[in-house]
Structure 1
Amino acid sequence: MRFLKNYSLLIVVALIVSACGQKEGVYFVNLTDGQEVSSTVLVEMGVNGMEVEPAGEINKGKGHHHIIIDGGYMKTGETIPANETHIHYGKGQTEATIELSPGKHTLTLQFANGIHQSYGEAWSKTITVNVKD
């Protein structure tokens, strides 16, 4: 009988942990590290632990996505530049299409506050994709 109580407790704990979902941070919804893709890439962006909102104001626990092509995460507080390799999604987008040349590329998903200041490494995710010719 005691075994069943302990076993039942383990099941309840497992269900609670499972219900809590993924750990905090950003993630690629539809891409995996090392995936082969075409030159036109649909990127679906996700976040756990913060809320997506358009750029403009700094609100605790909120921000928006950026994709950094062939570069790593930005340090906490650094302003993310807007150029051909640092793409801003300041309207609160969670999906975008990007164009990549053939070959290997890194994609870094970086979450930032309303004035494009990075939330740092903990709120970034880098993967490598292989663009087929």
Structure 2
Amino acid sequence: MRRTRMPGVLAALFIASAACVALGPSTARCAAQTPSPPGAQEYIIWPYDGAVITGGKLWVRMGLRNMGVCPKGVDIPNTGHHHLLIDTDLPPLDQEIPSDRQHLHFGAGETDARIELPPGKHTLQLLLGDHNHVPHVPPVYSKKITIIVK
């Protein structure tokens, strides 16, 4: 059997994947983050920044340019799925996106969603996640918008 030397990056990936097998995915960061292509852009189609919504129930329409949308768990290059951040800042961009009332996951590949918000001022922002709900490198996220619910 012939031995070959692994370049430094390849060796590091091998060690990381071995640690992932030994420790499990929840203990170690198991895979390199998924790359995003140049020019990828996520944006909120509706509501627009400054919109006043009556009643609290609204449709959020999500847009993505230079990438595709696919369900969670599907590992296809240059794709991901939407996460809507409500009244919060971006989470750590090298970890799985939380799933709670402020971080809504659209893992079935949805591009619009009906949400309900209480009266008041709210912020909305989109963050694209890969097949494992981890932001891409570089991360793809929308501008944060503000809406008012009456």
Report the TM-score, using the length of structure 2 for normalisation.
0.67
* 1:76 Cα deviation from its structure 2 partner: 2.9
2:72–2:132 contact (8 Å) kept in structure 1: yes
% identical equivalent positions: 35
Query: Which amino acid is the alignment partner of residue 37 of structure 1?
Result: I
* 1:33 Cα deviation from its structure 2 partner: 1.1
Q: Normalized per residue, which structure has more strand?
A: 1
Q: How does 1:1-133 map to 2 (within 5 A)?
A: 24-38=40-54, 39-119=56-136, 122-125=139-142, 126-132=144-150
* 1:67 Cα deviation from its structure 2 partner: 0.4
**Judging changes above 3 Å, is the alpha-carbon distance between structure 1 residues 76 and 58 closer, same or farther for their aligned structure 2 residues?**
farther
Looking at structure 1, the residues matched to 77 and 101 of structure 2 have their Cα atoms a distance apart, in angstroms, of 28
Looking at structure 1, the residues matched to 136 and 74 of structure 2 have their Cα atoms a distance apart, in angstroms, of 15
* 1:118 Cα deviation from its structure 2 partner: 1.5
Aligned residues: 110
Looking at structure 1, the residues matched to 47 and 91 of structure 2 have their Cα atoms a distance apart, in angstroms, of 21
2:128–2:139 contact (8 Å) kept in structure 1: no
* Runs of 4+ displaced beyond 3 Å: none
Looking at structure 2, the residues matched to 26 and 49 of structure 1 have their Cα atoms a distance apart, in angstroms, of 9
Q: Normalized per residue, which structure has more helix?
A: 1
More displaced stretch, 51-60 vs 114-123: 114-123
**Judging changes above 3 Å, is the alpha-carbon distance between structure 1 residues 63 and 83 closer, same or farther for their aligned structure 2 residues?**
same
Which stretches in structure 2 are left out of the alignment for 5+ residues? 1-38
**Judging changes above 3 Å, is the alpha-carbon distance between structure 1 residues 51 and 84 closer, same or farther for their aligned structure 2 residues?**
same
* 1:34 Cα deviation from its structure 2 partner: 1.2
Corresponding position of 2:3:
none
1:29 partner SS: strand
Looking at structure 2, the residues matched to 109 and 85 of structure 1 have their Cα atoms a distance apart, in angstroms, of 11
- Over aligned residues, Cα RMSD in angstroms? 1.7
